[in-house]
Amino acid sequence: MRFQTTLKYIDAVARTGSIRRAADTLSITSTALNRRILAFEEELGAELFERMSTGVRLSAAGELLVQSARGQIGEMERLKAQLADLKGERRGHVSIACSQAMLPYFFPEQIAAYRAQHPLVTFNVMQRDRAAAEEALVDHSADLALVFEPAQLSDFDVLLAVDQPVHAVMAASHPLARQEVVRLRECFGYPLIMPARNISVRGLIDAAARRSSARMKVMVESDNFEFMRNLTRSEEIIAFQIPVGLPSGDWEDGTVSRPIDRRDLAVGRIYLGHLKGRVMPVAVAGFARQIQQVLAERYE
């Protein structure tokens, strides 16, 4: 396994662009890490990194090695999980890249449920926008991606896609909270706190606003949905979110959500997927099946 360990070390240096920072994450000394890389370069007969005053960057040979190494590391993790299954255990690691909406409620709930059955499985959950989530799949830093309205799907093998209508979020005392469904022009009659322009929900609302004669009263913008929902508790202002990003059941914080009439606002979709052509490790495949079942039951 020494060869695999060396590959992981090289991958860590490539990701951080620094031997010192990589050594800190690997809990070894930078001197020991540098010696390990130099010895490997000598054995390989090629320099993997260009040393600079500000750090290191991959050489052409290094790019080839790291691309191959990430595939080998993933395959080894899959093999370990399969061998553990032969012993009646479910080990492994699941790395997820996801939109911000999945973080407050959905993934904490789902990871806790999966680990209750498979406590030896570890997780890494990273907030990534649509394009960055696909990049994480390509460079093998993520096994799965769950994103809202992805920018492109060229390297994305879709396991499931489900609709997500946009909801208006407001205080329970807000005048619109008495309605089961709200019209977008009604929301535009109140002060709004809007997602930042790089967030997909904002794109859907802006597109609808361009088709409407009503003008938006945007008072606050933010890239944090929890901040936006909490602000609705303090003043008569409306925020927006998709259902997967909202708590289930009765809310006890004084806020509510109401779906926006689908005649006014296009429905978005969340996509669960992995890298095309990559065989999912056992633990990853098991967690993906759980996510597929839950999303299908809730939203299909």
Query: Does one domain contain both 177 and 256?
Result: yes
Query: Does one domain contain both 171 and 258?
Result: yes
pLDDT of residue 249: 61
User: Using one digit for the tens of pLDDT, what is the confidence trace for 94-121?
Assistant: 999 999 999 999 999 999 999 998 898 9
Q: Rounded CA gap, 78 and 93, in Å?
A: 9
Task: Determine if the pTM surpasses 0.85.
Answer: no
pLDDT of residue 256: 93
CA distances from 84 to 94, 123, 242, 254 (A): 15, 17, 38, 47
pLDDT of residue 253: 80
Across the range 220-247, mean pLDDT stands at: 93
Across the range 26-50, mean pLDDT stands at: 88
Query: Per-residue confidence at 211, pLDDT binned at 50, 70, 90?
Result: confident
Q: Rounded CA gap, 143 and 81, in Å?
A: 14
Torsions phi, psi for 201 (to 5 deg) = -55, -40
Query: Does one domain contain both 260 and 201?
Result: yes
Neighbours of 51 (CB within 10 A): 10
**For residue 230, what is the domain's CATH number?**
3.40.190.290
Query: Does one domain contain both 150 and 174?
Result: no
Query: Does one domain contain both 134 and 282?
Result: yes
Q: Which domain holds residue 28?
A: 2-64
- Domain membership flag for residue 252: yes
